Amino acid sequence: MRRLRKAKIVATLGPASDDRTTIQALFEAGADVFRFNFSHGTHADHQVRYNIVRDIEKSLGRPIAILADLQGPKLRVGQFADGKVVLEAGAEFTLDNDPTPGDSRRVCLPHPELFAVITGGQSLLLDDGKLKLQVLDSDGQAIRTRVVNGGVLSDRKGVNVPDAVLPIPALTAKDKRDLSFALELGVDWIALSFVQRPEDILEARAIIGQRAGLLAKLEKPAALQQLDAIVQVSDAVMVARGDLGVELPPEQVPGAQKRILRSCRAHGVPIVIATQMLESMISAPVPTRAEASDVASAIYDGADAVMLSAESASGAYPVQAVQMMNRIISEVEKDPLYRNMLDAQQVTPRADKGDAICSALRSVTQIIGAVATVTYTTSGHTSLRAARERPSAPILSITPQLSTARKLALVWGVHSTVSDKVHNVDQMVAAACSTALNEGFAQPGEQLTITAGMPFGEPGTTNLLRIAEVWPPA
């Protein structure tokens, strides 16, 4: 099943999409990656969905990526004696370490690590930014604030601290349990929530190793202060605009998104744009025109993938949401302006053999009119470097590793296939030609550009470029 577009679609599974019929319909509608949100559902729920996805993958013969999204260290207030209170603008309100149920004057903040970093002049945002508190002072046991934007505050609502790097681990105890389970399942990607520093990624990497790709979710303003360093140690990045849009003023989110996109493109790291892309399709069969434009803008900017959250997990129209996203992407990629914008965004190759080869691959493909760029890869590195160049022809990725083929389902322009190992260049060219024919990328007499690393099977050794003419099958 060949996609006729280059950008990918990530669809979240949930109560509205947890049966085999719906999940297969989502894949056939255009979903390339299925996201399991570990903020919701049980391990048993995720096990069932995992088994269904792998069964569909086997029956349809196409690698499908599974992304396990860890909840992360979500900060919340404690409980109130009456379940909720009304905070009046201008009133004082205290967050302390006293577990006694709160009232309109105070509430427990059950995160002792925060008291040492919160100082006067900072802001606290409650309930997804609906309420805003200005910090007056903190003595290590209580944070005294003044209410700027008031409203109703109820038990366990979230707390955001936009003005500080928080001394909290990237992986909570729950995350570590979920991570162990996800790795045992065999997921392809792990999404790490609330990344603030490169060290957060390295902490998770020490546990994950090479068992899955590691995707950094950028949803804290603090992450933007070390953006390039975070991107360089990540396998992929997600612009998680939900919490990012709470902690940053809304007018700054588009600029932050473009800045993250530019960094990821420069470093050749796949990037996913997420949150509220087709939000109205949770309850309506069509999106707003603004939402359609939002998806289109991400594609024009060169994003690897766009993501559906509640639209496919709990909405009334999960399959229609994927179909709509598929149509928007396809329409953008037909526009000549799209190619012009990708070319204008082209970044200078790094001074290494892999980037030099893939840059030449892009030029040769365009000059000779090759119908496909074929990458032979074991680790996925060659296909990733080719995707960084955004060639005009599709990238037909051939790998002997099913795990690599699945992981590459997230990457722009890559059509991933599994083939037997090759041991020499002639076998590689033969595999490229036969796969291009079988997968519908080429006809006899058409030309392919092929790249690989020699010796075969060693990651990060992209150093070979070949041109081949496709011959008729024997």
Bridge-based pairing of strands 151-154 and 462-469 is unpaired
pLDDT digits (tens, 9 = 90+) for 388-427: 999 999 999 999 999 999 999 999 999 999 998 888 899 9
The conformational region for residue 352 under phi > 0 = left, psi -120 to 50 = alpha, else beta, is beta
The answer to whether the beta carbons of residues 83 and 155 sit under 8 Å apart is yes
**Percent above pLDDT 90 for the chain:** 84
pTM, whole model, 2 decimals?
A: 0.93
Q: Is the pLDDT assigned to residue 20 strictly greater than 70?
A: yes
3-state secondary structure of 400: coil
Instruction: Share the mean pLDDT of the chain.
Output: 94
Cα 322–Cα 383–Cα 393 angle in degrees, nearest 5: 70
Q: Is the pLDDT assigned to residue 77 strictly greater than 90?
A: yes
Mean pLDDT over residues 274-303, rounded? 97
The answer to whether the beta carbons of residues 118 and 165 sit under 8 Å apart is no
Specify the pLDDT at position 17: 97
In sign, the C-alpha dihedral spanning 256, 259, 263, 265 is positive
Specify the pLDDT at position 448: 97
Specify the pLDDT at position 376: 93
Q: What is the amino acid identity at position 320?
A: Q
The answer to whether the beta carbons of residues 375 and 397 sit under 8 Å apart is yes
Mean pLDDT over residues 313-318, rounded? 97
Q: Is the pLDDT assigned to residue 1 strictly greater than 80?
A: no
Mean pLDDT over residues 325-338, rounded? 97
The answer to whether the beta carbons of residues 392 and 427 sit under 8 Å apart is no
Count of Cβ atoms closer than 10 Å to residue 357 Cβ: 21
Q: Is the pLDDT assigned to residue 165 strictly greater than 90?
A: no
Q: Is the pLDDT assigned to residue 348 strictly greater than 90?
A: no
Mean pLDDT over residues 239-260, rounded? 92
Of the candidate CATH numbers 3.30.70.360, 2.40.33.10, 2.40.10.10, 3.40.50.300, the domain formed by 84-160 belongs to: 2.40.33.10
Band (372; pLDDT cuts 50, 70, 90): very high
Q: Which residue has the tokens 């992209």?
A: 462
Q: Is the pLDDT assigned to residue 323 strictly greater than 70?
A: yes
Q: Which helix (H) or strand (E) holds 344?
A: helix 336-344
Q: Domain map of the chain by residue range?
A: 8-72+171-334, 84-160, 353-469
Residue 35 a catalytic site member: yes
| DSSP per-residue codes, 291-331 | HHHHHHHHHHTT-SEEEESHHHHTSS-HHHHHHHHHHHHHH
Catalytic residue among 35, 132, 157, 220: 35
Q: Is the pLDDT assigned to residue 336 strictly greater than 90?
A: yes
Q: Which residue has the tokens 């396809």?
A: 330
Catalytic residue among 20, 54, 74, 76: 76
Q: Which residue has the tokens 């004057």?
A: 105
Which residues make Cβ contacts (< 8 Å) with residue 209, sequence separation at least 6? none
Catalytic residue among 49, 217, 220, 241: 217
CATH topology of domain 8-72+171-334: TIM Barrel (3.20.20)
Closest to 281 measured CA to CA, from 331, 240, 322: 322
Mean pLDDT over residues 162-167, rounded? 86
Catalytic residue among 12, 145, 275, 435: 275
Residue 5 a catalytic site member: no
pLDDT digits (tens, 9 = 90+) for 451-470: 988 887 777 678 889 999 99
Band (474; pLDDT cuts 50, 70, 90): low
Specify the pLDDT at position 113: 85
Residue 76 a catalytic site member: yes
Specify the pLDDT at position 170: 84
Q: Which helix (H) or strand (E) holds 203?
A: helix 198-208
Residue 217 a catalytic site member: yes
Band (473; pLDDT cuts 50, 70, 90): confident
Give the up-direction half-sphere exposure of residue 441: CA atoms within 13 A in the CB hemisphere.
Answer: 31
Mean pLDDT over residues 254-274, rounded? 96
CA–CA separation, 131 and 192 (whole Å):
27
CA–CA separation, 285 and 364 (whole Å):
44
Q: Which CATH architecture has domain 353-469?
A: 3-Layer(aba) Sandwich (3.40)
